[in-house]
Amino acid sequence: MRQYQLYINGEFLSNANRKMIDVINPSTEEVISQIPAGTADDCDAAVKAAEAAQKSWAKLPAIQRANHLHEIANLIRQNAEPLARIISEEGGKVLGLSRVEVSFTADYMDYMAEFARRFEGEIVQSDRPNENILIYKLPIGVIAGILPWNFPFFLIARKMAPALVTGNTIVIKPSTETPNNAFEFAKLVAKSSLPKGVFNLVSGTGRTVGHALAAHPSVGMVSMTGSVPGGAAIMAAAAPNITKVSLELGGKAPAIVMPDADLDLAAKCIRNSRVLNTGQVCNSAERVYVHESIAKSFIAKVTEQMKNTRFGDPLTDDTLDMGPFVSRAQLESVEAAVAGALKEGATLTLGGKRAGTQKGFFYPATVLTNCRHDMTIMHEEIFGPVLPITTFKTLDDAIDLANDCEFGLTSSIYTNDINVVMRACKEIKFGETYVNRENFEAMQGFHAGFRKSGIGGADGKHGLNEYLQTHVVYIQYNDKIQ
């Protein structure tokens, strides 16, 4: 059985006398590896290593820092297939999506590296004679990156690449559900020319490792992707040191289907969004509001799309649409959500029952109709391939229903009316709105949410700026010098 080791200051540490955590293949329920249960002392060592390395790292020209990212991106591409299979093995993701995640991660490294010559300060006009006001953009210092289990490999790059190109160093904590890919990534870093201490990896529980990193006085920013309770815990741990936090948390994305929509397109895109990664994506369409005049036709089309969703062990068939849930707890959570919806009066139109008695945390694509907006399933995040559908009468109603939510990450609308599109873009209160397409962001955009979906954001130039702080310099000069 594979045993991984913490990676601190350019070295893999011995597992002697360490408590280990089992990692499960969710398709087979077999233990496939063990990872160290890191301690607060491990976190302190990693942060100190990152802090010591950051001073010299920040002094390098940004283009030299970028070259290290390009080097790691190339190493990822050289090991793409083994990395994809590891992601599928530990997380249950279909192989096609794992391959996309690996290639996208390498591309993201290159994309952020290209900002080396592009992030800028400013010269501001002064109210005084003989004065220049300079605004510098400087690195924050040590970044703690706390990763989720649903896109674990890509999230390494989403946190590491902008941090490093701007002169920060980083300590990464992977999820205990899907950590193996991060350790394989650390092996690539060890083969690269990246200076020691710039990248560090400490595995373990959120309660121990996550808290220790967030509470560490030498951490300048915590970038965390995960649940709302997890984000609240990170904020509480960071508060005594007034440490900056950047949080991407839950979502409950509404999809609005207008009477003039292309129903085939809407059904296909909503289905694709809902079953992606077995529905375990915070962006995915989580609740559908369809105009009452087309509800019957749309429900028939989207149910047929969901019915054709194939699932199974992704390592035995690379043509599947879905794999298993990441864990038994996730499976039981979705089962409870569906049972609750049925108890509140929803109609089970498709799926809704655990798939057979075979090993693995499998669950079919599920459609719930006759839902009411006040049902729990229309407000609480499902994180599974379950599609609750309700109807509306007017655009005003649809927008009000969409906005009546504690989350605010992504949203979508299907219509061919530009006036409806413009109103929706202005009035739907979510960080992202997708028009006539599935919910999936671009690296050059800005992935950020409103309300309980988070603080700050990622991607593009705005995401890069999360890793910079501002230093203003006022220079008074004497113009009388001969």
* CA separation for the pair 329, 322 (Å, rounded): 18
Tell me which residue of 420, 414, 411, 421 sits closest to 436, measured CA to CA.
414
User: Amino acid letter at 334?
Assistant: V
Among residues 51, 90, 177, 248, the one annotated as catalytic is 248
Give me the residue label for tokens 């873009």: 425
* CA separation for the pair 384, 406 (Å, rounded): 19
- Reduced to 3 states (helix: H, G, I; strand: E, B; else coil), residue 20 is strand
* CA separation for the pair 226, 265 (Å, rounded): 31
Do residues 283 and 249 lie in contact, with contact meaning Cβ atoms separated by under 8 Å? Answer: no
Strand partners, 474: 133
Tell me which residue of 454, 81, 41, 2 sits closest to 231, measured CA to CA.
454
Burial of 475 (0-12, 13-18, 19+ CB in 10 A): exposed
Radius of gyration of the chain (CA): 24
Residue 17 CB coordination number (10 Å): 5
Structure tokens that stand for 41 in this block? 């002392």
User: Is 405 known to be catalytic?
Assistant: no
Among residues 43, 269, 282, 371, the one annotated as catalytic is 282
Distances (CA, A) of 271 to 139, 268, 321, 478: 41, 5, 11, 68
Structure tokens that stand for 337 in this block? 């959500």
User: Is 248 known to be catalytic?
Assistant: yes
Structure tokens that stand for 413 in this block? 């609308």
Tell me which residue of 457, 470, 475, 286 sits closest to 380, measured CA to CA.
286
* CA separation for the pair 127, 124 (Å, rounded): 10
- Reduced to 3 states (helix: H, G, I; strand: E, B; else coil), residue 460 is helix
The set of catalytic residues is 248, 282
